[in-house]
Amino acid sequence: MGKGGTGIATLKDIADAAHVSSATVSRVLNADTSLQVSAATRKRIFATAEALNYTKHQHKTQTAAGTIGIIQWYSEQEENNDLYYRAIRWGAETQLQAADFAIARYFSNDTLADAGNLAGLIAIGKYSESQLNQFKALNKPLVIVDQDTLDQSISCVTTSFAAPVGKIIAYFRQQGHHRLGMIAGREETTDGQAIDDQRTVAFEATLRDQGLLEDAIIADAPFTIEGGYATMTELINQYGDQLPHAFFVASDAMAIGAIKALQEQHIAVPDRVSIVGFNDLAVGRFLNPSLSTVKVATQQMGINAAKLIQDQLSGLLTVPTRITLSSELILRDSSR
């Protein structure tokens, strides 16, 4: 907590806890993307600020530019276990607070009873057509993050899936792997609507175009370490020596579980099975073997969502717009 017994966290408190300078904390929390600092350091600063309940902008509520609601389709507990969506929220909040907006957080189990007081709404995650219509009915500036909603006339921010998945498949083929596997993510909206994950769509489409889909093995699992572990264990038991030599796994968490299952069965990674994940969780760099993955600009997705809201409020943006950010294939030791 802050010095002098005030109970209010300061920039120095955050700097001391995060082991960086106060100037670095200030620039990160004020969305200075020109600052040369690692993604891990940025995340550590945001996590520290949140843990200390840093409230620099909250006291400005009366004179702020307005209040923007940020909805997570997860529960708060689920978000705490998923850095992907948490990092998107951090990016959005950082950009909005730098522009003097107040923030109202909502999770999947919250109601929007006070939505009439909001200046705009950012919804992070996956939503059914019914849920999207409920958001639109509020008649507020609206942006969806991590779901393509342009066909529903809603502005959105997404990441590239087809390009990195195509690169993964090309890489596997260059390494001599022609019978490929995928552990695909299984998820649904909070009102029970199944979601077509775009990683799976891209994987199947690319293999179909190359005449490889018929021989591929695709199994789905929850987006968790446990899901990846259980599904890979089932595949090992089912296919034995016929297990594909290369797997694309739809998230790093699932890939971590898949590697654990392979190692428990004394199946060498990557000598017998190559693994590539998705999201570039920091922990993947410290696995043995370190995890090949696709790096997604999660914080930048949130920043762009906030900018779209600002442009709607200012009148600069008058038609629904989609921003798609590029992603990067990072090859480490889990694939060859």
**pLDDT confidence band for 31 (50 / 70 / 90):** low
Q: Are the C-beta atoms of 251 and 185 separated by less than 8 Å?
A: yes
Indicate the average pLDDT of the chain: 88
State both tokens at 51.
């843990």
Residues 80 and 148 in one domain: yes
Q: Examine the pLDDT at 247 and tell me if it is beyond 90.
A: yes
Residues 258 and 208 in one domain: yes
Q: Indicate the number of domains in the chain.
A: 3
* Segment among 58-67, 116-125, 132-141, 250-259 with least mean pLDDT: 58-67
State both tokens at 11.
């920039």
Give residue 135's Cα distance to chain centre: 21
Percent of the residues in the chain that have a pLDDT greater than 70, as a whole number: 88
Residues 70 and 51 in one domain: no
- Give the type of residue at 77: Q
Name, in order, each residue with C-beta under 8 angstroms of 97's C-beta and a sequence gap of 6 or more. Answer: 29, 30, 31, 56, 57, 103
Beta bridge partners of 105: 70
Answer yes or no: is 186 within a domain. yes
Q: Which of 9, 33, 56 is at the close of a domain?
A: 56
Predicted confidence at residue 232, as pLDDT, reads 98
Predicted confidence at residue 62, as pLDDT, reads 42
Distance, CA of 145 to CA of 323 (rounded, Å): 10
Residues 108 and 196 in one domain: no
Predicted confidence at residue 121, as pLDDT, reads 97
Predicted confidence at residue 163, as pLDDT, reads 96
Predicted confidence at residue 30, as pLDDT, reads 61
Predicted confidence at residue 131, as pLDDT, reads 93
What residue numbers bound the domain in which 39 lies? Answer: 1-56
Predicted confidence at residue 8, as pLDDT, reads 56
Answer yes or no: is 330 within a domain. no
Q: Which of 56, 78, 96 is at the close of a domain?
A: 56
Segment 151-206, tens digit of pLDDT? 999 999 999 999 999 999 999 999 999 899 999 998 889 889 998 899 999 999 99
Segment 311-333, tens digit of pLDDT? 999 999 999 999 999 999 999 99
Answer yes or no: is 335 within a domain. no
Residues 107 and 198 in one domain: no
Distance, CA of 51 to CA of 249 (rounded, Å): 32
Answer yes or no: is 239 within a domain. yes
Cα distances (Å, whole numbers) of residue 149 to 112, 124, 129: 20, 12, 9
Segment 51-108, tens digit of pLDDT? 676 654 443 344 468 999 999 987 776 666 667 888 899 999 999 999 999 999 998 7
Residues 211 and 246 in one domain: yes
Residues 175 and 155 in one domain: no
Distance, CA of 62 to CA of 117 (rounded, Å): 13
- Radius of gyration for the alpha carbons in the chain, expressed in angstroms and rounded: 21
Angle, helices 39-51 vs 83-98, to 10°: value is 80
Predicted confidence at residue 3, as pLDDT, reads 40
Residues 266 and 193 in one domain: yes
- CATH number where 236 lies: 3.40.50.2300
**0.85 exceeded by the pTM?**
no
Give residue 279's Cα distance to chain centre: 7
Residues 110 and 72 in one domain: yes
Residues 71 and 88 in one domain: yes
Q: Are the C-beta atoms of 220 and 184 separated by less than 8 Å?
A: yes
* Segment among 52-56, 83-87, 128-132, 257-261 with least mean pLDDT: 52-56
Q: Examine the pLDDT at 135 and tell me if it is beyond 70.
A: yes
Checking DSSP bridges between strand 293-296 and strand 327-330, what pairing results, if any?
A: antiparallel
Q: Are the C-beta atoms of 246 and 292 separated by less than 8 Å?
A: no
- CATH number where 42 lies: 1.10.260.40
Q: Examine the pLDDT at 272 and tell me if it is beyond 50.
A: yes
Predicted confidence at residue 33, as pLDDT, reads 52
Predicted confidence at residue 16, as pLDDT, reads 86
Q: Are the C-beta atoms of 85 and 71 separated by less than 8 Å?
A: no
Cβ neighbours of 263 (radius 10 Å) = 13
Positions of E strands within 32-161: 66-72, 101-106, 120-124, 142-145, 155-159
Total residues found in the chain within this entry: 336
Q: Are the C-beta atoms of 65 and 103 separated by less than 8 Å?
A: no
Place of tokens 């390009």: 163
Distance, CA of 297 to CA of 325 (rounded, Å): 7
Answer yes or no: is 332 within a domain. no
* Segment among 63-77, 220-234, 294-308 with least mean pLDDT: 63-77
Residues 5 and 110 in one domain: no
Residues 283 and 181 in one domain: yes
**Strands of 246-249's sheet in order across:** 217-221, 180-185, 246-249, 274-276
**Per-position DSSP letters for 161-184, written without gaps between them:** -HHHHHHHHHHHHHTT--SEEEEE
